[in-house]
C-alpha cells in the first residue's frame, strides 16, 4: 500500500507515538507485508525468529519490538507492539469509509456495464466497460475491475483478510488496506469470496474463469486463463501461474506456487509448491499417475494378506 505522499520517518513515528532509529527525514512511501515489500516500505516484525528476514528484506523501514543494529541504508521504528501499530497506520491511511447508497458517488463505471439490482459498489471502485454484474454482488472499496468481466449473483469482492494475532483476551485482527484487482475478460461464478490484500493486491488474471462457491484468500495472485472449479479454497499469498486448471473441492496451504499449465485434480490438498505442466492428485499432493498407482496397490493388500496366511 502506497501512501498519498512521501512522509518522513519522524512523521510516521509521531502517528504511532514510537521511537525511531535513523535520520528524522528518512523517506517513507508505503507499507507492505514482507513478501511484497520494496524500497520505501514499512514492514513489521514482532518475533525474534523473523527479525533477520525483515531486516534483510527489500523494506527500508522496519517496525520492530526490540532495539537492534540498524542495517545500512535503512531505518527502524521501535514499538512495544508492532502488530497494533501496523493497524494504526492502516487506519490512518486507509480508514473505513461509511456508505449509505448502493453505488458510491466516487465509484467509476465504464460504458456498457450493466449492474443488476441489490448490488453494492463501494467507495473508489473502478469498473471497466461492458461488464455484467448480477444481483446481490458486494464490491468493497477500492476494488478494480477490468473490461468484459462477468460476476454472478451473491459474490463478494474485497472482504477482509483472515489474519489474526492471538492475544490473552482473544484474537486481534490485522486490518486490511489492500485491494482486489480483476483483469479483463474474467468470469466469476455465484457466491464466490475474494479477499482483498492486507496491504497489497489480490489479483485475478486476464481471461481466468472461476466457478461457483470458490474462496480466494488475501494477496493471492492468479494468472491468465486459469480454470477453477467449484468449492475450491485458495489460501492467502498463493501464486497460481498462467493456464492452471483446478478441479472441484481443492484446498491449498498458504504461500505456495502452482506452476503454469499444472492440473490439480478434484479433492486434492495442495500442501506444497508444485511444478507446472504436470497433473496432481491426493493429500499430501503427488503427481496423479504415481498417486493412483499407490491407491491401486492399497487395494491389493487384502489379497496379499490372504496369500500369507
Residue range 181-231, pLDDT digits in tens: 999 999 999 999 999 999 999 999 999 999 999 999 999 999 999 999 999
Residue range 22-66, pLDDT digits in tens: 999 999 999 999 989 999 999 999 999 999 999 999 999 999 999
286-303: average pLDDT: 88
Give the integer Cα–Cα distance in Å for 205 and 215. Answer: 16
Are the CB atoms for 209 and 186 separated by under 8 Å?
A: yes
Using the 8-state DSSP alphabet, how is residue 48 labeled?
A: G
Task: List the grid coordinates of 41.
Answer: 516500505
Judge if the upstream peptide bond of residue 79 is cis by omega within 30 degrees of 0. Answer: no
Task: List the grid coordinates of 57.
Answer: 528484506
Q: Which residue has the cell 504461500?
A: 255
What backbone phi and psi angles, to 5 degrees, belong to 158? 105, 15
What backbone phi and psi angles, to 5 degrees, belong to 11? -65, -40
Are the CB atoms for 268 and 282 separated by under 8 Å?
A: yes
Are the CB atoms for 76 and 97 separated by under 8 Å?
A: no
47 carries an active-site annotation:
no
Give the integer Cα–Cα distance in Å for 16 and 14. Answer: 5
Q: State pTM to two decimals.
A: 0.93
Residue range 120-179, pLDDT digits in tens: 999 999 999 999 999 999 999 999 999 999 999 999 999 999 999 999 999 999 999 999
- Among 35, 134, 215, 218, the active-site one is 218
Amino acid at each position: 500500500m502506497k501512501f498519498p505522499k512521501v512522509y518522513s520517518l519522524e512523521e510516521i513515528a509521531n502517528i504511532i507515538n514510537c521511537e525511531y532509529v535513523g535520520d528524522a527525514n528518512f523517506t517513507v512511501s508505503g507499507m507492505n507485508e514482507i513478501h511484497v515489500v520494496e524500497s520505501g516500505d514499512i514492514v513489521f516484525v514482532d518475533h525474534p525468529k523473523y527479525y533477520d528476514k525483515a531486516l534483510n528484506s527489500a523494506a527500508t523501514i522496519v517496525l520492530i519490538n526490540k532495539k537492534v543494529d540498524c542495517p545500512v541504508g535503512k531505518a527502524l521504528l521501535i514499538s512495544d507492539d508492532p502488530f497494533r501499530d501496523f493497524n494504526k497506520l492502516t487506519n490512518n491511511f486507509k480508514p473505513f469509509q461509511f456508505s449509505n447508497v448502493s453505488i458510491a458517488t466516487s465509484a467509476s463505471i465504464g460504458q456498457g456495464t450493466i449492474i443488476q439490482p441489490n448490488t453494492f459498489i463501494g467507495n473508489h471502485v473502478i469498473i471497466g466497460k461492458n461488464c455484467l454484474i448480477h444481483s446481490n454482488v458486494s464490491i468493497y472499496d477500492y476494488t478494480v475491475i477490468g473490461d468484459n468481466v462477468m460476476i454472478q449473483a451473491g459474490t463478494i469482492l474485497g472482504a477482509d483478510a483472515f489474519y489474526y494475532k492471538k492475544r490473552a483476551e482473544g484474537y486481534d485482527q490485522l486490518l486490511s488496506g489492500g485491494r482486489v484487482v480483476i483483469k479483463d475478460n474474467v468470469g466469476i461464478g455465484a457466491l464466490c469470496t475474494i479477499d482483498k490484500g492486507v496491504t497489497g493486491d489480490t489479483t485475478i488474471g486476464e481471461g481466468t474463469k472461476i466457478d461457483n462457491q470458490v474462496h480466494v484468500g488475501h494477496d493471492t495472485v492468479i494468472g491468465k486463463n486459469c480454470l477453477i472449479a467449484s468449492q475450491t479454497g485458495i489460501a492467502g499469498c498463493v501464486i497460481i501461474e498462467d493456464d492452471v486448471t483446478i478441479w472441484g473441492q481443492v484446498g491449498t496451504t498458504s504461500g505456495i506456487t502452482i506452476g503454469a499449465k499444472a492440473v490439480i485434480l478434484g479433492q486434492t490438498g495442495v500442501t506444497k509448491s508444485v511444478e507446472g505442466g504436470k497433473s496432481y492428485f491426493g493429500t499430501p499432493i503427488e503427481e496423479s499417475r504415481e498417486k493412483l498407482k499407490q491407491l491401486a496397490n492399497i487395494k491389493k493388500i487384502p489379497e496379499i494378506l490372504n496369500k500369507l496366511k
